[in-house]
Amino acid sequence: MSTSLLYHGWGVRGYRQTAIGFEEGMIRFVIEQDPDTFRCANCGSGQVMRSGQTCRRFRTLPIGGKPVWIELPIQRLWCISCGKTRQADVSFADERRSYTHAFERYALDLSQHTTIKDVALHLGVGWDMVKEMQKRRLQRRFKKPKLKHLEHLAIDEISIGRGHRYLTVVLDLDSGAVVFVGDGKGADALKPFWRRLHASHARIKAVATDMSPAYTAAVRENLPKAIHVFDRFHVVKLFNEKFSLFRQELQREAEGPLAKKVLKGTRWLLLKNPENLDDERDERKRLEKALALNKPLATVYYMKEDLRQIWDQLDAAAAEVFLDDWIARARASGIRMLLKFAETLIQHRRGILNYYQCPITTAALEGTNNKIKTMQRQAYGFRDREFFKLKIFALHETRYALVG
C-alpha cells in the first residue's frame, strides 16, 4: 500500500505498510515508522538510539462494514541529548488511546446525528468509549464558557430525577447557549456563577427569572444595575397552579351529584387558552356549562384570561393601568384565591412591568429544559454528572431529527 493512501485514507503519515491480514471479519494493516522520523518524546532531539520495541493495535476507520485495525511496533528510543528512554510518539493517535484520530473524528461526527448507543453499535465498540470521546471534546470547548459578552440572562431550575434533585441553569438569551449549570436550586447554586461573572467584567443589562425570593435577592445583590424581569410564563403558571387548587376546593364543596360531575372533568379545559379549545370534542360547550353552574369559578376563569393581557399592552403606562385595574377587580371579587394572588402581584409589580423596559422571558430556557429531559433518556453515560453538564452546555448546537 502506498504511503499516500495511508495518509489520505486514515491520516497516517510517516509510516509504511509491511503486511496486511484478514482475520475474523476484520482487516489488519501492519505498518512501521520511518527511522528518519524518530525523535525523542522528551526533548524532541533526533539524536536517538533504538532500545527495543512494543507492539500496539489501533482501531481506525472501517472499510464498508469491515472493522480495520492498524498494528504498529512502537520503538523505544534512548536519547543521547537528554539521556532519557521513551517510546516514540504516535502521530496518528493520542497517548493511551486504542484508536486513531480519524476514528475519533468519525465517531464524533456520527454522534451529532444519533445517540451514543447507536454510534457504539454501528462501530462495534463499547458505549463508554464513544462517551469518553464526546466528554474530552466537550471539555475542550465548554468547560469554562466565556461570560464577558453576556448582556441578557434567564435563570431557572430543572428537576433531573427522583428525590428532588435539581440543577440551576443560566441561559444567554442573545445566543441561546447555556453558560452555567449549578448543582441544586436557589441562591447557593448560583454562587460560583456570580464569582466568574464578576471576574469577567460582563455588563449585564437584564435578567429574567421566576418570582422566587431567592432569585430576587441574588439578582439584587449581584446585579443591582440590571433590569430584573419577572417572567410572564412563571406568573401565569403560578396562577394556573392556584386555579387548579381552587377548582378542587369547589368540587369538594359542590352540592349534588350533577355539580360534582360537571366540575370533575374541567381541569384542563379551564387551563387551556380559549383559542385552543376543540369544538369537535365539545370542549367549549362543557366549559361554558361548568362556568354557568359556578359563579366563583367563572370569575376566576375570566380573571385568568385577563391576566395574560398585562403583557399585550401598547406601552408601560397602559400596562400599569391594566395591572392596577386587575388587582382592584381581584380585591373586589371577595374570592380568597384572587385576594392572595393580587397581593403577590403587588409585591412583584415592578418586576412584572420591567418587561416593557426589556421584553425578555425565560421561554427559551423552558425549551432548553425540555431538551435536557429528552437528552436524559438517551444514554446511561449521562449518569456521569460532569458529562451531563457538558452536554447541557452544547445543547444550543444540538439538532433533533427522526431517523430510521
CA 233, distance to chain mean position in Å, is 19
**Residue 319, in any domain of the structure:** yes
Q: Please compute the mean of the pLDDT values over residues 329-337 and round it to a whole number.
A: 88
- Classify residue 116: in a domain, yes or no: no
CA-CA distance, 22 to 255, in Å (whole number)? 83
Q: Count other Cβ atoms within 10 Å, centred on residue 71.
A: 17
Percentage of the chain lying above the pLDDT 90 cut: 33
pLDDT tens by residue, 186-236: 888 999 999 999 999 999 999 999 888 888 999 999 999 999 999 888 898
With 0-12 CB in 10 A as exposed, 13-18 as middle and 19+ as buried, what is 21?
exposed
Does one domain contain both 217 and 285? no
Domain-located, residue 179? yes
In this structure, the answer to whether residues 390 and 303 fall within a common structural domain is no
Judged against a pLDDT cut of 90, whether residue 2 lies above it is answered with no
Q: Give the C-alpha separation, 388 to 137, whole Å.
A: 13
Q: CB of 72 within 8 A of CB of 15?
A: yes
Q: What is the mean pLDDT of the chain?
A: 82
As given in the structure block, the three cell numbers for residue 166 are 435539581
Residues 69 and 41 in one domain: yes
Residue type, 392: I
Asked if residue 244 and residue 227 are part of one domain, the reply reads no
In the predicted structure, residue 176 carries a pLDDT above the cut 90:
no
β-bridge partners, 17: 31
Q: Do 369 and 169 form a contact (C-beta atoms < 8 A)?
A: yes
Q: Is residue 104 part of a domain?
A: no
Which of 293, 303, 292, 291 is CA-nearest to residue 338?
303
In a domain, 58, yes or no: yes
Per the CB < 8 A criterion, the answer to whether 142 and 394 are in contact is yes
- 28 and 48: one domain? yes
The type of residue at 166 is Y
Strands 85-87, 15-23: parallel, antiparallel or unpaired by DSSP? unpaired
Within a domain: 216: yes
With both helix axes pointing from N to C terminus, report the angle between 232-253 and 336-347 in degrees, rounded to the nearest 10. Answer: 160
Q: Tens digit of pLDDT for each residue in 10-41?
A: 888 888 888 888 888 898 989 888 888 888 88
Q: Are residues 351 and 238 in the same domain?
A: yes
Handedness of CA 91, 97, 98, 104 (dihedral sign): negative
Contacts of 287 (CB under 8 A, 6+ apart): 266, 269, 270, 277
Same domain for 380 and 346 = no
Place of cell 433533533: 400
Query: Do 392 and 178 touch, CB atoms closer than 8 A?
Result: yes
In the chain, count H helices and then E strands.
16, 10
Q: 343 lies in which domain range?
A: 232-356
Express each pLDDT in 344-360 by its tens digit: 999 999 999 999 999 98
Asked whether residue 380 carries a pLDDT value surpassing 80, the answer given is: no
What CATH number corresponds to the domain at position 205?
A: 3.30.420.10
For residue 258, the model assigns a pLDDT of: 46
Secondary element (H or E) of residue 5: helix 3-10
Name the DSSP class of 249: H
The grid coordinates listed for 158 are 430543572
88-102, 261-275, 374-388 — most confident range: 88-102
Q: Give the number of domains in the chain.
A: 3
Calpha distance 116→381 (Å, rounded): 8
- Please answer whether residues 230 and 239 qualify as being in contact, where contact means their C-beta atoms are separated by less than 8 angstroms: no
CA–CA distance, 323 with 329 (Å, rounded to integer): 10
Query: Is the residue at 111 inside a domain?
Result: no
Give yes or no: residues 254 and 351 share one domain. Answer: yes
The span from the CA of 150 to the CA of 142, in Å, is: 16
User: Is position 113 within any domain?
Assistant: no
Residue 215 shares a structural domain with residue 237: no
Residue 168 CA to residue 191 CA, distance in Å, equals: 11
Please check whether residues 347 and 367 belong to one and the same domain. no
Q: In 254-362, which ranges are continuous DSSP H helix?
A: 257-264, 267-271, 283-293, 295-307, 316-333, 336-347, 349-353
Closest among 229, 172, 200 to 365, alpha carbons compared: 172
Q: What is the dihedral of CA 45, 46, 50, 52, to 10 degrees?
A: 50
CA atoms within 13 A on the CB side of 253: 9
pLDDT of residue 219: 93
Residue ending a domain, among 73, 97, 121, is 97
Does residue 92 sit in the same domain as residue 238? Answer: no
Q: Are residues 193 and 254 in the same domain?
A: no
* Cα 80 to Cα 305: distance, rounded to the nearest angstrom: 84
- The whole-number average pLDDT for the span 114-138 is 89
Q: Which of 90, 131, 141 is nearest to 108 (CA)?
A: 131
